[in-house]
Amino acid sequence: MLLIVEIVNIFVMNIIAIFITKKITKSQIRLFTVKNFLWLILSILPTIVFYTAGYNFSTFLTFLILILSTKKILDIDILVSAILILYIMILSTIPDLIGSAIIMNFISFKEIHNNFLVLFITNTLVSILTYFIFKISFINKIAIAIVNKLQKQENRRIIIYLLFAFIAICIMYYTTSSIFTPTKDYFVANLVIVSFIFLIFIYMNEIMKYDKLLMQNNTLYECMQNVENYQEQQDLCMHEYKNQLSKVIDATTDEKVINIVKNILKVDSSNENYILGKIKYLPKGEIKSLIYYKLLVSNKKNLNTSIDISPKIEEKDFKLPPNVNNELSQLIGIYFDNAIEAASHSAKKQIALEVYKIKNSLFFVITNSYKGNINLNNIMKKGFSTKGNSRGKGLYFANKIVKNSTYFTNETKIMDDYFIQKLELKLK
């Protein structure tokens, strides 16, 4: 009788897992077919063959065959099936832990597994509650994010992390099943299980945040490319218009017409076009997009902006390793943000950018006017800021990046009421 109850419980849990996976992957496969039923029967076969009370080898084997069955039933990638089944099983531990913590005060582990009615009710409740857990919005979003990330080869490391976390949870489950009394050891074991679940959520949340930031950077880069392409077309058209208008001057002796045409030829570009023109020597890419954006912010804050980019800079100078490129973006972002804020509160409201190359080094120099007094001995300390409480982390983190890198050196100085940040990027 207990074997039948265990088979029914595993059968119900597997069906719930497949339904949840179908919803997450948005699979259009029809579930109720003979083939799918046979795969479902296969997923409970280890329980029939190797059944014993508690968590054992058959539990792990059932899990592996469920992954294969889900892949075959829903026609999805085996890695997607594996990670989602892992995710579902890990979250199913939450109602299981809560239920165990309550029931253990009234009945022992052995008595539960010898009482088919209690066993059936508790396992069925765990399966149903697991299904409703996936009705929670952020749980579902994380699952969808996992599926999307698994489409990229470099993100397959998530599987390794979750697999080891799941193995650790299985080991702790085996430990708790041998204790199953309200003792200190039991609650410590449960605390370890909850900690692993919590760490999994933190890890996945960080991945989602990183993806969001990466998407924003890619969007900014695409926008920058579109703006540049548009600007190039406009420059070509403007150049052609000026060529045609210059011919008018040669074709007439009317002073009035000549003066009108000359005035047209002296029309200034907009601030945005001015900025694009000034940074034209920077190769297209993430760094140029970032600098362009920061200069636009500076312009909107009505700062007096000076830009000097050396024409000697080449595209190959910005072909950096991904981690170095990310660090350079962070450093320029921090230096610019501090410069813009300081300059906007100063009387002169001036900010300047210089980018030039000397031998095998690129130099980025950001200069700004400022208000008040600055102590250079304190400015790199964590938490120090002239802008109030809960500030002052930017330059501290920038200095930390530089210290931990072999690519960067920086110099900070004050000259004639101007604050200067000079960053050197060593090209290797």
- How far is it, in rounded angstroms, from Cα 343 to Cα 305? 10
Residue 383's pLDDT is what? 45
Backbone angles phi, psi at 28, to 5 degrees: -100, 10
Residue 389's pLDDT is what? 38
Per-residue pLDDT in tens (0 to 9) along the chain, 428 residues: 666 777 787 888 888 888 888 888 888 888 888 888 888 888 888 777 765 555 555 666 777 888 888 888 888 887 788 878 878 887 887 787 777 777 767 776 666 666 667 777 878 888 888 888 888 888 888 778 777 766 555 555 565 666 666 666 666 666 665 555 566 666 666 676 677 667 766 766 666 666 666 666 666 666 666 666 655 565 556 545 655 555 565 566 777 776 776 566 554 445 666 787 888 889 887 788 788 888 888 888 889 999 999 999 998 898 888 888 888 988 998 899 889 989 999 999 999 999 999 988 999 999 999 988 776 665 655 444 444 333 344 677 888 889 888 999 999 898 888 999 999 999 87
Residue 391's pLDDT is what? 38
- How far is it, in rounded angstroms, from Cα 332 to Cα 317? 16
- How far is it, in rounded angstroms, from Cα 143 to Cα 149? 10
Q: Look at the pTM and tell me if it is higher than 0.75.
A: no
Residue 9's pLDDT is what? 78
Environment class of residue 21 by beta-carbon count within 10 Å: exposed (0-12), middle (13-18) or buried (19+)? buried
Residue 119's pLDDT is what? 73
CA atoms within 13 A on the CB side of 207: 22
The tokens 């993430």 sit on which residue? 286
Residue 66's pLDDT is what? 86
- How far is it, in rounded angstroms, from Cα 309 to Cα 318? 14
- How far is it, in rounded angstroms, from Cα 78 to Cα 288? 41
Residue 12's pLDDT is what? 86
Q: What are 357's strand-pairing partners?
A: 362
The length of the chain is 428
Q: Alpha-carbon Rg of the chain, whole angstroms?
A: 32
Residue 14's pLDDT is what? 86
Contacts of 405 (CB under 8 A, 6+ apart): 324, 327
Q: Give the pair of three-digit tokens for residue 285.
A: 């890419």
- Contact between 126 and 96 under an 8 Å Cβ cutoff? The reply is yes
C-alpha dihedral sign at 326, 301, 266, 239: positive
